[in-house]
Structure 1
């Protein structure tokens, strides 16, 4: 296993020299992965094109966006899906939510384990009268829980495929989609922690009518500003929160209509003017992934091998469970791109690890070690050695 990890990692590492991945212990891959050196070329290209083409730069910018869409359609085995660009998933989420009559159907079903962009917004809307029903996202009867909350007041079901606080993959997405479909209720899947780490065929899993939130900051290595909302090509939602880029190609014709129009299929949930620098950077990364043969299968195999080694190295050290332990006992095959450890000292451990040059993060009592394709066996062992050293100085 170690040889397989290192074969790809050592092949990739020289291409990430600006981030110095060979000499740093970067274990926040579930949050911010290093960018390959070619990403810098994208930033330079963006500036040079703005200087030479001025307002005419937008045709080139839109072509970069389309390259990103094509990459996602390939990853999700989704040739007919539509993909709307957003600066972040929150912007896309708010636009999507504004499509529904929440006065007539004021109920949203979600889980207790959603990322802040969704959880915070729903909590705030709950203060304004929205009915938010929470189910336990980490149990096998999640579908039955959702079914028990389903009634005529439900506007949508909103949940993750890979939970940000545990790394556990929701194994019940298809049956949840079948349930919501039978009630004519849309399902939106937050896949920020699934894209590019856990393969998903929307076709094979019968999810073509679902909505998917996607972010480029983590496993895609696209950096900030490259988020997408995926939706079916027959979508006719009319978001109340809408920007002029939703009809960018037909602005004059759009003005003459009595109702606000949504002329561009891939822009239905768009906002307004955005900084296209991010897309030039990301397009270079897409080309790099293709050149290096980083297919969904190759990436998934690398992540699974790295997480398995991380898991085994942690167990080998026989840590005091009162200080730190695995946050769950799920098999590695049911985990995404990071290992979640539970400790009442999580934030203190994270701070001490950072002092030693080990990048991790902590959320409450959860310490997260996230891998990336360029991380080697030696780096995983070294990171666990540093964790052992830190934990040995903690008295429970």
Structure 2
């Protein structure tokens, strides 16, 4: 376990010295290395000008692919493609289904990118969506796998860690057994798992799609999302960008060719500065020996201490809330934030923000996120602010 490393975040902390930022699960503060990466992106654009993309595809993207592949245990970095947001990848995968309506299996706890888009596909008659309720969560995996094995679906979409409750779906191996190149395809949303907890996809990489990004626990801001695409699944997405024309192409004579690797999901021109920030942040973490496990251990220790304060009544009215994803030895599968459900969640979050304590709220759930730039004194300040609610 490591202690707080405020020395890695001097710029972000100095920008708002009185702020207590407990939303590391949302807009994670950027480390100083991210600033250096951003400057490097500008310098490279000035240095290479029209030939910048040769450098981006020759050095920047391969480095980012390597970082992601090592983090997730992916055997081949070429299965990874980048875009500005995960919504792009939803559209490209959906476009690859030849039948309409697309029969989709998902949950009632997916993030807004999929939730809203799926509802609109239903309205337009392009999809039929079956949503398995998350609650009661003790039986969720069993219920979801039963539905997935029913053979009624073309596409299965599920979060690895659920954004609202912080609970985790651990049965990726069993779910991958259902996937087939001819359908169903399985997409795992890993945004709250990537670099938040150790994730090894080596045993399922040949059967599942996995998407996430660098906005949250990867500490690198918006604009750097990725998709891992298993070979043979969705070989010719209809929604396609001109970047997918580069490389060794397969396809019908005279038709549109596609790369056989993950590059078949490339879109078009996008701002690559997020990848510069991500590469710089990962390099610095590697130098410091700060693995995902080490960072998670620090965050979990803070979460456990805050949880004790809540349960003991030292955090004011939060004692009345239900902790949806408690820190417990027998429940290691959880997000790197604490999710507390209560009718006053929104009011609490607003009152804390008025005291310059940043959390966030999803419906009736207030979320407290923990990270490297927080120490014991920050936790004491958080507990005191909650006690004053």
Tell me the TM-score normalised to structure 1 length: 0.88
Partners of 1:334 and 1:359 lie apart in 2 by 25
Alignment of 1:74-93 (within 5 A): 74-80=70-76, 82-93=79-90
Deviations 1:330-352 (A, max 9, x none): 73523211000112121121111
Sort the Cα spacing of 1:208 and 1:201 in 2 relative to 1 into closer, same or farther, 3 A.
farther
Query: Which stretch has the larger CA shift, 344-353 or 107-116?
Result: 344-353
* Post-superposition offset of 1:234: 4.2
| Correspondence for 1:281 | 277
What secondary structure is seen at the aligned counterpart in 2 of 1:154?
coil
| Correspondence for 2:258 | 262
Match of 1:216 among 214, 217, 223: 214
* CA-atom RMSD in angstroms: 2.5
| Correspondence for 1:185 | 184
Partners of 1:212 and 1:229 lie apart in 2 by 6
| Correspondence for 1:354 | 353
* Post-superposition offset of 1:182: 11
* Post-superposition offset of 1:236: 4.9
Q: Does the aligned pair in 2 maintain the 1:323–1:345 contact within 8 Å?
A: no
| Correspondence for 1:96 | 93
What secondary structure is seen at the aligned counterpart in 2 of 1:202?
coil
Partners of 2:241 and 2:271 lie apart in 1 by 15
| Correspondence for 1:244 | 242
| Correspondence for 2:374 | 375
Q: Does the aligned pair in 2 maintain the 1:147–1:179 contact within 8 Å?
A: no
* Post-superposition offset of 1:175: 1.8
| Correspondence for 1:309 | 305
What secondary structure is seen at the aligned counterpart in 1 of 2:82?
strand
Deviations 1:229-280 (A, max 9, x none): 1122444521111110111347xx8999522111372321121111122222
Q: Does the aligned pair in 2 maintain the 1:323–1:344 contact within 8 Å?
A: no
* Post-superposition offset of 1:203: 2.0
Sort the Cα spacing of 1:348 and 1:178 in 2 relative to 1 into closer, same or farther, 3 A.
same
Unaligned residue ranges in structure 1 (runs of 5+):
391-396
Partners of 1:91 and 1:210 lie apart in 2 by 17
| Correspondence for 1:394 | none
Sort the Cα spacing of 1:133 and 1:281 in 2 relative to 1 into closer, same or farther, 3 A.
same
Partners of 2:155 and 2:252 lie apart in 1 by 32
Query: Which stretch has the larger CA shift, 221-230 or 311-320?
Result: 311-320
Sort the Cα spacing of 1:291 and 1:143 in 2 relative to 1 into closer, same or farther, 3 A.
same
| Correspondence for 2:19 | 24
Partners of 2:109 and 2:382 lie apart in 1 by 27
Partners of 2:172 and 2:199 lie apart in 1 by 11
Query: Which stretch has the larger CA shift, 343-352 or 108-117?
Result: 343-352
| Correspondence for 1:131 | 128
Tell me the TM-score normalised to structure 2 length: 0.89
Partners of 2:351 and 2:56 lie apart in 1 by 42
Partners of 2:327 and 2:295 lie apart in 1 by 21
| Correspondence for 2:6 | 13
Partners of 2:343 and 2:319 lie apart in 1 by 8
